[in-house]
Amino acid sequence: MKLELLIVKDAGLDALIDFFSNVFLFQKDNNYYPYPLEQVRHIGYQLCYAVKFLHQNQLTHTDLKPENILFVDSDYDIFYSNKKKRDIRRVKRTDVKLIDFGSATFDHEHHSTIVSTRHYRAPEVILEVGWSQPCDVWSIGCIMFELYLGVTLFQTHDNREHLAMMERILGPISYRMARKTKTKYFYHGRLEWDEKSSAGRYVRENCKPLKRYQMSEDDEHSELFDLITRMLEYEPAQRISVADALHHPFFQKLPENLRLADRERSHSLSR
């Protein structure tokens, strides 16, 4: 089995997406029904493997999101869900391609202040304290949560509200980062946020501690949430790397025929 990374020119991106279905559109057309755990595992594994290739070459993708993960073959089976009382699609193959390297940045290149699509943006980007490869890992954590639940982890378009959601879901933001940022969201290291406001109520009613989103107490579900938790560490230096993530117990249960050997690093670049 071989993983392919696609680098495409902007002009060809829309045509490529029209030809392949991405994991977001498939889920949207499936009424946001969650992917089965084994499919989350395979897609997440391939994504980590592809991003490891970038990171080993001093590149940060900076725009990882479900729309940029395409199915090689989006053919599907249909089954009836008694829970949802409707037909549900299940993709037959979960081989994927990672696309859209238009914002990818080498370590030595200028780093834009703001990168990543809002919902997948790491705290160090929002706080403008400098970013590198770990911001990709944060995005992967958000993506895996979304594939598993069918909902976006951080559904917001406002920086302060985004930070409040992080604190509601993950606990207080790192004091070091809060003190380092030159943004105006913190006072004496604490987020300035009115929990009694309409926005405060929205966050309180729509967000809960990460572990409470877990749909089962089975070991495999717990392993997924352990991995996501490690990917969503506030401090970039403490966040798990994609190389280490590939050795996490959650991915160790991936069948051998779906694994990618190191010698099979992707070299297929489509221009």
Structural element, H or E, at residue 191: strand 190-191
Instruction: Please tell me which residue in 10, 29, 63, 226 is annotated as part of the active site.
Output: 63
Instruction: Give the Cβ contact number of residue 200 at 10 Å.
Output: 15
HSE at residue 54, side-chain half, CA atoms within 13 A, is 35
Give, to the nearest 10 degrees, the angle between helix 159-170 and helix 198-206. Answer: 40
Strand partners, 105: 60
Residues 124 and 144: their CA atoms lie apart, in Å, by: 20
- Please identify which residue in the block is written with the tokens 């009694």: 196
HSE at residue 101, side-chain half, CA atoms within 13 A, is 17
Given a contact cutoff of 8 angstroms between Cβ atoms, the answer to whether 69 and 96 are in contact is: yes
Residues 207 and 31: their CA atoms lie apart, in Å, by: 21
Chain centroid, CA 169 distance in Å: 16
Q: Which residues contact 117 (CB under 8 A, 6 or more apart)?
A: 63, 65
Q: Is 63 a catalytic residue?
A: yes
Give the start-end residues of each E strand in 28-155: 59-60, 69-71, 76-81, 86-91, 96-98, 105-106
Q: Which residues contact 162 (CB under 8 A, 6 or more apart)?
A: 118, 121, 126, 154, 156
Query: Hey, which residues are catalytic here?
Result: 63
